[in-house]
Amino acid sequence: MWRALRRAGSAAPRSGPGVRGERRGPSARRAGRTCATIRMPEVNTDHLDEQQVQLLAEMCILIDENDNKIGAETKKNCHLNENIDKGLLHRAFSVFLFNTENKLLLQQRSNAKITFPDCFTNTCCSHPLSHPQELEENDAIGVRRAAQRRLKAELGIPMEQVPPEEISYLTRIHYKAKSDGIWGEHEIDYILFVQKDVTLNPDPNEIQSYCYVTQKELKQLLDKAARNEIKITPWFKLIAETFLFKWWDNLNNLNKFVEHEKIHRM
């Protein structure tokens, strides 16, 4: 059964300049030199949720199409279609968390989210940030640390319950999708699996409902999305239609699906 969360109230519109006057650090300036052909546009964020706007100042990891680091840029600039259309690409991850009954934890994104609000999706989807702990690439340890951080931030899962060594990195996908006329996604997405019973205390600013589902229940959800009765995120749709069920059938033998050298172009 889906559990709905209630937000304390919609955030008041921002009266100040939002992130338009954000200060760019040295890593951002280096990224600007790396991507010298991209002029970062100004976008008014005054009408958006204040908590989500604050997150737009986070520094994401810019990469090339082979997932090599080339710099850093704000989350805001990484998610503007105007920049995506010019080739801006960043690193991301998608977590699929199963309990010991082999049920998958899904969430419905809050209507406060700037990209793909109200959409149903996998357990957790976010970005490693451009700081040393999450930039470390050996066995994707930086990405797995970021996943641990965001599982806590979004779902309230205590960090000690999901240590990075218990998060399995399978493979990567490269996809691009528009959320609306302004915002979108262009990511190389690390696919991460966890199987564990965890404690949940979701943040209603991030998540409006959540549920553990069986394979049958997920297929019913996907059928509803195909009939436009609900919305699902584009990355979750791609992963579910291409890989998810065969991975799900082999939770005790995922090693045969590990493809760290491959990036699936979706």
245 falls within a domain? yes
- Tallying the residues shown for the chain, one arrives at 266
In a domain, 141, yes or no: yes
- Please report, for the domain that includes residue 221, its CATH number: 3.90.79.10
Beta-strand runs (E) in 68-150: 69-74, 90-98, 104-109, 120-121, 124-126
Which one, of 156, 162, 154, lies nearest residue 192 by Cα?
A: 162
Q: Are 58 and 75 in contact (CB under 8 A)?
A: yes
- Predicted local confidence at residue 49, as pLDDT: 63
Based on the structure, what is the number of domains in the chain?
Answer: 1
Per-residue pLDDT of the chain (266 residues; tens, 9 = 90+): 778 887 665 443 333 323 333 333 333 333 343 444 455 666 667 676 677 767 688 999 999 999 999 999 999 999 999 999 999 999 999 999 999 999 999 999 999 998 999 999 999 999 999 999 999 999 999 999 999 999 999 999 999 999 999 999 999 999 999 999 999 999 999 999 999 999 999 999 999 999 999 999 999 999 999 999 999 999 999 999 999 999 999 999 999 999 999 999 99
The shares of helix, strand and coil residues in the chain, as percent rounded to the nearest 5, are 30, 25, 40
**Sign, Cα dihedral of 176, 230, 54, 159:** negative
Annotated catalytic residue: which of 125, 134, 154, 185?
A: 125
Residue 58 domain-assigned (yes or no): yes
Asked if residue 44 is part of any domain, the answer here is no
| CA separation, residue 254 to residues 17, 60, 87, 244 (Å) | 48, 29, 33, 11
Instruction: Say if 252 falls within a structural domain.
Output: yes
Position 19 in a domain: no
Known active-site residue 125: yes
Measure the CA–CA gap between 242 and 246, rounded to whole angstroms: 9
CB 239 within 8 A of CB 191: yes
Tell me what pLDDT residue 56 has. 84
Q: How many CB atoms lie within 10 A of CB 226?
A: 11
- Residue ranges making up the domain that contains 61: 50-265
Task: Tell me if 251 is assigned to some domain.
Answer: yes
- Predicted TM-score of the model (pTM): 0.85
192 in any annotated domain: yes
Annotated catalytic, 124?
A: no
